[in-house]
Amino acid sequence: MPFADRRRLIVAVVAGGCILLALIGVGIYGLLRGPSVGADHEARPTAAVNTAPTRPDPVSSPKTVAATSDPERFVRSVARSLFDWDTRAPDDPAEWAQPLVDVADAEEAVGVATDVRAYLPVSTVWKQLQTYGTRQRLDINSVEVPDAWTTARAQASANQLSKTTVAYTVAGTAHRDGTWNGESVESSRRVSFTVFIDCPPDEPCRLLRLSRPDAPLQ
């Protein structure tokens, strides 16, 4: 049976909560997706919460996602590639997104590209952030298989979901810093999201989809 047919599942993330809906025999595990988030809160470069001396830190470049068959290691690498970016680099948002698309399952690459765009500032906001030298990094607090995914597996019919497909919910803190009116400023916020991956034996894991930002499976 083709791989795609063995992992058909729909997992829906509902507004106001992350509730697992009934599994349906159509689709892979599509997420009910809202409009792309980012424009409103991204438009504020870096909240002037704390000030610190300007640091001559090196400019970062897009991170390559680890080629590994270890699911948790892969998810951590995906998370850092997704959240760690630096507007001081010459790369635009599309180039920061590319490493994630490169490790996507071939059948899910278009969907992954759409998912990633919801996490990155749009081009117009990116240009604004460049004027402040804004950069972002992620501190990961936890990487866990959510209960909703365990329930999904228990309810899935035979051959509906590949045994090597798994979801991990990542929780952490995103930190930003930049320069505002000549002062170095920093801000932080809690983030959470779910990463859907497939890790066949003796093969590097592949990225299937991402939940909406801050709408993880619980």
User: Hey, what's the torsion of the CAs at 139, 142, 143, 149, to 10 degrees?
Assistant: -130
| pLDDT of the residue at 171 | 98
HSE of 187, CA atoms in CB hemisphere, 13 A = 14
Q: Tokens for 120?
A: 């990155």
Q: What share of the chain is helix, strand, coil (3-state, %, to 5)?
A: 30, 25, 45
Residue type at position 206: R
| pLDDT of the residue at 158 | 73
- Quick check: helix, strand or coil at residue 35? coil
| pLDDT of the residue at 159 | 78
Closest of 143, 140, 139, 134 to residue 41, by C-alpha: 134
Q: Looking at the whole model, is its pTM more than 0.85?
A: no
Per the CB < 8 A criterion, the answer to whether 179 and 202 are in contact is no
Q: Which residues, 6+ apart, have CB-to-CB distance to 37 below 8 Å? A: 118, 212, 213, 214
Q: Which residues of the chain have a pLDDT value below 70?
A: 1-56
Q: Tokens for 175?
A: 């930190």
